[in-house]
Amino acid sequence: MATKVTTPKPDQLVTSIDFTPPKTGWMDTPTIIKPGTFCWGAKGKNLATVEFPNARDWNPSDQDWKLPENWQEIFLKGMEDLLGKYRSFKVFMDICVRCGACADKCHFFIGSGDPKNMPVGRAELLRSVYRKYFTASGKMLGKVAGARELTVDVLKELWYYAYQCTECRRCSLYCPYGIDTAEITIMCREMLNLLGLNTDWISGPVANCYMKGNHLGLEPHAIMNSIEGMIDDIETVTGVRVNPSFNRKGAEILFVTPSGDLFADPGTFTCMGYLALFHELGLDYTWSTYASEGGNFGFFTSNEMAKRLNSKIYAEAKRLGVKYIIGGECGHMWRVLHQYMDTWNGPADFLEVPVSPITGTRFDTAKVLKMIHITEFTADLIKHGKLKLDPSRNDDLVVTYHDSCNTSRGMGLLDEPRYVIKSVCNNFYEMPENTIREQTFCCGSGTGLNASENMELRMRGGFPRANAVKHVKEKHGVNMLANICAIDRATLSASMDYWVPGVRVTGVHEMVANALIMKGEKERETNLRGEPLPGKEGN
C-alpha cells in the first residue's frame, strides 16, 4: 500500500492538462485508478469502530475490493432509499439538461481536463445507473437512453470520482436549476459506504472523532498540552499569560473549533489568536475535550454518521450549562452547523440567544441555532471599538482573502471576515472577482481529500485557486493568503508551496491577535510566529 507516489512538477502538471475529450464516449472509456489521484482504502478497524458495514482492510488499487456477495442489491437498495428521503436527489437525477454551464466551473476539471470531472460528467456517472434501474426509458432503451448496468467497473468508477469531488458547490451556483453535484456526491458516497468503500483519510478521523472527540484523536490531556504550549508561546510574544479553562461547568460560552487548529502550523497560530482575544476580553468561556471537534468528517461518509459526530456539540453545551456557543474558523464545519445541526440535534432550547457580553449585541440571526461564527463576534467588537488594534504590526503582510466554499455557498458569510481583516491589516487586495465570494474556488482538498497519497489530485484541484493568488502576487505583491478554514490552512499551504512559492497562509484571528494591543503586554518584538515585527527586524 505504501508505494511511493511521485507528484509531477507544476509545469509538467499544467502541460498535462488537456481539455480535448477522449475519442471514445465516456461509457466506453474505462476508468483507470491512477496513483496520486486517490486515497488509500479504509481500515477495517476504523469502520468497525463506528459500526459501518463491510468493515475490512482494502486497497483501491487491488483488483478485488472485497465486496459483499450481494453488493449490487445493497447499492441499489441504498439508492432507492435515498431517492425516497431526499427530494434534491430525485429532482437532480431527473432534470439535468446537460447544458454544460457547470462543466468548466469545477476546479478538478480545470486542473485535470478529465471530462468525468465536469460536474455534469460526475453526475452522469451515477445518473446513468439511476436511469437503468429507476426509469422506464432507461430500462427499455438502455444505452440510447443514457443508461448502463451497475457493474464492478462502474462501481469503481463511481468511487473514484466521488472522491474527486470536494462538494464545494461551485457547480451548483452556475446551474440554471441549481443542480448541486455536491449533493449527488454526498448521496453517492453514502451508498458507497454501505459497501465499506471509504478512505483511510476519512474513516480514521471519523473513528477518532467518535471515540475521542476530535479527528486527530487527541486525548483530553493531549489537547491541554497542546494548548499549554500555545499559552507559553503567547507569553513569549506578548508577555501576557492567558488562562483558558476546559470542561468548565457554568461558563457563559462554549468555544468549539476544528482540532486542526490544535495541532499543526499555521492553524496553531490561529488558535493562539483565539486564546489571546478571549483573554483580552475577559470572556467567560470554556473549551471542551469531549466536543473538541468543530469539523465533521462524518459528513463525508453518511448523513447518519455526521449527525452522530455532531451530536456532541449540543450535548456538551447542555452538560456544561453554557448560554451559547461560539464556533471557530472552519469551512465545512460551518456548512454542517448552519444547514444541518439544528435539524439533526436541535432544538437547543436549553441555550439562549447569543448576546455579546462585551457589546450587548444580540445575534438574532442565530436565535435558533444559538451558535455564532467567531468572525461575527469579532467584527461586532471592532465595530463597537472594543478592541485596541495596531494594524501596522501586520504591515509586512500583503494580504488577500480566500473564501471557503462552504461559508460562501452554504451560508453567505462574506463581508464579516473581510471587515475583520481590513481592520487589522493595512494591505489588502482582492483576487479577481470570478474567483472570490460566492464564485470562490475550492482549495482543492476539501471533504477529506487532504491526504498525502493523492497529492497530484490535490494540486490539480488547487490550481485555479492558486492561479488567482499568483495573479495578485504578481500584481500587488501579495504574500499572505488569509482564510477562515482549518483545512484551508493546511491544504493551501501545500498548494502555495507548489504553485506560488513565497505566499504563506494564515487564519484571520492570527492577524487579529498580532494587531491586538493587550492590557499589560510588553513591547512586542515578534508576531505569533516568532518572526520580527516590521521595523523590529534589526533587534
Partner 1 sequence: MKILIPFFAVIALVVIALVGAQASHALFGIWIPYAAVLIFVFGFIFKVLKWGRSPVPFRIPTTAGQMKSFAPWIKQNKLDNPSSSLGVLGRMLLEVLAFRSLFRNTKTQLYPGTKLTYGSEKFLWLGGLAFHWSFLIIFVRHFRFFMQDVPYPIQIVEHLDSFLQIGAPLLYITDVVLLGAVTFLFLRRVMMPQIKYISLPADYFPLLLIFGIGATGVLMRYFAKVPVVSVKELVMGLLTFSPVIPQGISSLFYAHLFLVSTLLAYFPLSKLMHMGGVFLSPTRNMANNNREVRHINPWNYPVHVHTYEEYEDDFREKMKKAGLPVEKE
Q: Is residue 312 a contact residue for partner 1 (CB under 8 A)?
A: yes
Cell readout for 443 is 482549495
Q: Can you tell me the distance from the alpha carbon of 351 to that of 6, in angstroms, rounded to the nearest whole number?
A: 51
Q: Can you tell me the distance from the alpha carbon of 432 to that of 440, in angstroms, rounded to the nearest whole number?
A: 10
- 274 closest CA partner among 374, 371, 360: 374
Strand partners, 401: 482
Strand partners, 246: 287
Binding site partner of 122, from partner 1, ligand SF4, none, Cβ cut-off 5-8 A by kind = ligand SF4
Binding site partner of 167, from partner 1, ligand SF4, none, Cβ cut-off 5-8 A by kind = ligand SF4
Kindly report the backbone phi and psi dihedral angles of residue 263, in degrees, each rounded to the nearest multiple of 5, phi listed first.
-115, -55
- Strands of the 324-327 sheet, one edge to the other: 285-287, 253-256, 324-327, 371-373
Least gap, CB of 81 to ligand SF4 (angstroms): 23
Name the CA dihedral angle for 141, 143, 145, 149, rounded to a multiple of 10 degrees: 90
Binding site partner of 165, from partner 1, ligand SF4, none, Cβ cut-off 5-8 A by kind = ligand SF4
Binding site partner of 73, from ligand SF4, partner 1, none, Cβ cut-off 5-8 A by kind = none
Cell readout for 241 is 499569560
Q: Which of 171, 420, 431, 485 is close enough to bind ligand SF4 by CB under 6 A?
A: 171
H runs (alpha helix) in 388-502: 405-409, 415-424, 455-476, 486-499
Least gap, CB of 297 to ligand SF4 (angstroms): 17
Q: Within positions 174 to 203, which residues make up the interface with ligand SF4, using CB under 6 A?
A: 175-177, 179, 181-182, 185
Q: Within positions 67 to 96, which residues make up the interface with ligand SF4, using CB under 6 A?
A: 96
Contacts of 354 (CB under 8 A, 6+ apart): 323, 324, 325, 326, 362, 363, 366, 370, 371, 372
Least gap, CB of 245 to partner 1 (angstroms): 9
Q: Is residue 268 a contact residue for ligand SF4 (CB under 6 A)?
A: no
Q: Is residue 487 a contact residue for ligand SF4 (CB under 6 A)?
A: no
Q: Which of 38, 47, 75, 122 is close enough to bind ligand SF4 by CB under 6 A?
A: 122
Binding site partner of 268, from ligand SF4, partner 1, none, Cβ cut-off 5-8 A by kind = none
Nearer to partner 1, 5 or 83 (CB): 83
Cell readout for 372 is 455564532
Pairing of strands 253-256, 285-287: parallel
The secondary structure of residue 147, as a DSSP letter, is -
Which residue bears the cell 440554471?
176
Q: Is residue 166 a contact residue for ligand SF4 (CB under 6 A)?
A: yes
Which residue bears the cell 463576534?
377
Least gap, CB of 495 to ligand SF4 (angstroms): 15
Binding site partner of 409, from ligand SF4, partner 1, none, Cβ cut-off 5-8 A by kind = partner 1
Where does this chain touch partner 1 (CB under 8 A) — which range of 64-72, 379-387, 452-460, 530-538?
379-387
Least gap, CB of 297 to partner 1 (angstroms): 15
Query: CA dist 159 to 1, 78, 163, 382, 461, Å?
Result: 18, 15, 6, 46, 17
Cell readout for 72 is 449490487
Binding site partner of 168, from partner 1, ligand SF4, none, Cβ cut-off 5-8 A by kind = ligand SF4
Nearer to partner 1, 86 or 429 (CB): 86
- 150 closest CA partner among 172, 127, 166, 168: 127
Q: Within positions 414 to 473, which residues make up the interface with ligand SF4, using CB under 6 A?
A: 442
Q: Is residue 61 a contact residue for partner 1 (CB under 8 A)?
A: no
Q: Within positions 254 to 283, which residues make up the interface with partner 1, using CB under 8 A?
A: none
Least gap, CB of 233 to partner 1 (angstroms): 20
Interface ranges with ligand SF4 (CB under 6 A): 96-102, 105-106, 108, 119-120, 122, 165-171, 175-177, 179, 181-182, 185, 442
